[in-house]
Structure 1
Amino acid sequence: MSTTWSAPGRVTLIGDHTDYNAGLSLPFGLDRRTSVTVRRADEPILRVRSDSPGAGPVSVPARVLELPEPPAVDGWAAYPIGMAWALAQAVPGAIGPFEATVTSDVPVGIGVSSSAALEMAVGTALAELFGLDLGPAELAAAGQRAENVAVGAPTGILDQTAVMFARRDHGVLIDFADLARRAVPLGLAAAGLGVLIIDSGTRHEHGTGGYGQRRAECAEATSVLGLTSLRELGVDDLDRVRPRLAPNVFRRVRHVVTENARTARVTELLDAGRAAEIGDLLTASHASMRDDFENSVPAIDAAVAAAVDAGALGARLFGGGFGGACLALVPTDRAEQLAAAITAGVVAGGHPDPVIRLAAAADGPRREPDPG
């Protein structure tokens, strides 16, 4: 027998780089999905294949599931094989040899969490195939372990949690102090609004570079200030702690603290059915990431500026940053016009044509009809 599950990508409406600081985030599931079909293998191997260009089949011995450390696998296959290893660590002896086939239309490298979509599709498919008694939160935790240990990317659990608990037409408010979460009605369609996803064409990698440095700077601030997490600070505390921190570290702290406040306010407005009022908070979030967290790039700054100048209610970089994509909150009846204006503004700034599409909030993992 075989089973097929799919999982969505993720867009953070607001609340980035708050997850590993015990803060607040408000993501939603992207209406692009990764599907994984799995079946038991006839030989003692784990074999994964993908329809992506250049992603040939990869096989490893099934015995790697019993090892305390994940197998050394390069490239895209580290995610599904790492997920299988993480599940085997959570439920020893439950997973056997399998073959998996991956198809996806979730863009890679733009900050919409193609990795978590793959991990959660693999996780839910293997959970059914091998009868694993694991809930959504446990699958999300296994996905984070796979990404941290098997892939070597120092990410938090935002992406996996957002994917597992995504709900159509809703965001997922996640409080990373205790991983509490709840669905938040976005109300965009009722307000005549939509979200444009603007791919800058600049790619990023979480396994290297600035993402890990920013995490280290946040950890440094937590240590210097004698805190358990940056969540213990409010906006009113910033002037008090500033003299104790190096200037760049203080800026990182200021982003996290003010981003928590913005996320809380956006949630309040959405709960009240006032989606049209969140735009300025989105744009302020981008300015904070650009100036304080310093994880934006010129092509994305140009897209955000062009979007706001053209009449978007607000726009911001989302995801890990250092490339990727931004979003713009726009009236749906002007989405095409605004997309053209954004493209013109970005190109005028000397950057490549962005890829722009209207996105919707989608459901989390689901079982798909068996192929054939």
Structure 2
Amino acid sequence: MTDITSEFTAAYGRAPEGVWSAPGRVNLIGEHTDYNKGFVLPFAINFRTQAAVARRDDREIHLRSTFAEGEVVASLDSLSPDTMDGWSAYVLGVAWAAADAGVAIDAAFGLDILVDSRVPVGAGLSSSAALECAAGAAFNELWDWNLGDVALARLGRVAENTAVGAPTGLLDQAASMLGQEDHVVVLDCLTEEARAVPLHLREEGLGILVMNSNVDHEHATGGYGDRFRSCAEGARILDVESLREITADDLPRAQELLDEEAFRRVRHVVTENERVLATVAALEKDGPRSIGQLLDASQASMRDDFEITVPEIDTACDTAVAAGAIGARMTGGGFGGSAIALVPLEQADQIADAVRARLSEAGMREPTIFAVVPSEGARRDR
């Protein structure tokens, strides 16, 4: 990772007071269930975004990054989603969301901020939440907010929903704030209760490969928003506040009331919630080698019922399983991005090679394949 202290000093003419970081995430299972008040099972990964910060003697935020030219300047007295755009909205949006929620920033001092990220952008690994949570962790300490991890995750979600305009749930920010080494985080998006569940990957000789399709996606536009609206409409027709209230026993009634496409969208959410809970139970009872069929079933549901995968993702998942992976599925919002494969460590290279070869044979773009490790959440690095 970039020597962010030296970069900050070069940019601002003085050393930062501290460096905070937050990770990207992989969702083991539970896709598009978060904004439907369901269950998700993400983990933080060993790719992080850093924010080096020092206070100013005015009430301005001066914001730079190692991945974009120029400087963004914003006044704490006039923060508004209407005046934010681009990558800076993920940072400034957190400060605005705090003020909007009643967290006092009246007496807050300004800040110089330099951001550096190693979370792949557009890969479905939530580089956006890593940026929001790194900024939130810094603000929380420097401005004496004294907020807990879940409260900070909520601010990140509000920033993404309102300042950025992406209708996401709490999954990404919760994973980035609450992650632990070799654990997944099971989050109930209705109650916002969360707990860590051991994965035991190391002792089982397993690893997780990310297979980035290199098909970019954009959450604030397109299909993600369509699926969000489709789920909301399904809940309205079924006369429930959210699809969390619908169980498998309700699906015959749903099929009678909904058109064919809307029914399939609802069926995915209902069955995906069940798969998350089944995965938690399997991990706690039998360990990670027992969850392959659940991962595969999730992939099939996203492909056929929710229709958010792309051919590159489908081919990568099918090939990985055929080459020896325990299970594989798309991860993230879909329409590109990445898939994951749970693999025996001794077979990881051959599985990756098989996926590359198959996509090449199919005339598809070459994937970027790398291992991720379940890691610690947001923290102060120095």
TM bracket, shorter-chain basis: over 0.9
Provide the rounded CA distance (Å) in 2 between the counterparts of 1:145 and 1:362: 24
Contact 1:295–1:321 (CA under 8 A) maintained in structure 2:
yes
Alignment CA distance shift 1:133-1:94 (3 Å):
farther
Provide the rounded CA distance (Å) in 2 between the counterparts of 1:241 and 1:277: 31
Provide the rounded CA distance (Å) in 1 between the counterparts of 2:189 and 2:59: 39
Shift of 1:94: 4.5
SS of corresponding position for 1:190: helix
| TM-score using structure 1 length | 0.95
Percentage of matched positions with identical amino acids: 49
Aligned to 1:64: 78
SS of corresponding position for 1:350: coil
Q: Write out aligned runs for 1:118-197 (5 A).
A: 118-197=131-210
Aligned to 1:50: 65
- Which of 82, 87, 94 aligns to 1:76? It is 87
Shift of 1:87: 2.2
Between 289-298 and 124-133, the greater mean CA deviation after superposition:
124-133
Aligned to 1:89: 100
Aligned to 1:307: 320
Provide the rounded CA distance (Å) in 1 between the counterparts of 2:156 and 2:71: 21
Q: Deviations over 1:43-85 (max 9, x none)?
A: 4421111111x343211233224xxx43422211111111121
Shift of 1:108: 0.7
Provide the rounded CA distance (Å) in 1 between the counterparts of 2:301 and 2:269: 9
Shift of 1:169: 0.4
Alignment CA distance shift 1:210-1:55 (3 Å):
farther
Contact 2:235–2:242 (CA under 8 A) maintained in structure 1:
yes
Q: Write out aligned runs for 1:11-26 (5 A).
A: 11-26=26-41
Provide the rounded CA distance (Å) in 2 between the counterparts of 1:327 and 1:39: 38
Contact 1:38–1:129 (CA under 8 A) maintained in structure 2:
no
Shift of 1:183: 0.6
Q: Deviations over 1:16-66 (max 9, x none)?
A: 1001111111000011000101111244421111111x343211233224x
Provide the rounded CA distance (Å) in 2 between the counterparts of 1:234 and 1:162: 25
Alignment CA distance shift 1:177-1:228 (3 Å):
same
Shift of 1:248: 0.8
Aligned to 2:254: 241
Structure 1: tracts of 5 or more residues without a match: none
- CA RMSD between the two structures: 1.3
Contact 1:42–1:97 (CA under 8 A) maintained in structure 2:
yes
Aligned to 1:209: 222
Matched, 1:253 2:253: no
Contact 2:199–2:287 (CA under 8 A) maintained in structure 1:
no
SS of corresponding position for 1:196: strand
SS of corresponding position for 2:84: coil
Provide the rounded CA distance (Å) in 2 between the counterparts of 1:4 and 1:131: 16
| TM-score using structure 2 length | 0.93
Provide the rounded CA distance (Å) in 1 between the counterparts of 2:76 and 2:281: 49
Aligned to 2:21: 6
Contact 1:154–1:212 (CA under 8 A) maintained in structure 2:
yes
Q: Deviations over 1:274-315 (max 9, x none)?
A: 210101110110110011001111111111111111111110
Matched, 1:110 2:123: yes
Contact 1:64–1:71 (CA under 8 A) maintained in structure 2:
no
Between 165-174 and 38-47, the greater mean CA deviation after superposition:
38-47
Letter in 1 for 2:47: R
Shift of 1:266: 0.8
Aligned to 1:292: 305
Aligned to 2:5: none
Letter in 2 for 1:354: P
Between 271-280 and 354-363, the greater mean CA deviation after superposition:
271-280
Shift of 1:273: 3.9
Provide the rounded CA distance (Å) in 1 between the counterparts of 2:69 and 2:250: 49
Matched, 1:365 2:378: yes
Alignment CA distance shift 1:246-1:367 (3 Å):
same
- Which of 29, 32, 36 aligns to 2:51? It is 36
Provide the rounded CA distance (Å) in 1 between the counterparts of 2:280 and 2:340: 17
Equivalenced residue count is 365
Letter in 2 for 1:368: D
Aligned to 2:278: 265
Contact 2:201–2:288 (CA under 8 A) maintained in structure 1:
yes
Contact 2:57–2:109 (CA under 8 A) maintained in structure 1:
no
Provide the rounded CA distance (Å) in 2 between the counterparts of 1:232 and 1:144: 22
Provide the rounded CA distance (Å) in 2 between the counterparts of 1:322 and 1:304: 15
Letter in 2 for 1:97: G
Provide the rounded CA distance (Å) in 1 between the counterparts of 2:286 and 2:143: 43
Contact 1:48–1:101 (CA under 8 A) maintained in structure 2:
yes
Provide the rounded CA distance (Å) in 2 between the counterparts of 1:246 and 1:47: 50
Letter in 2 for 1:348: E
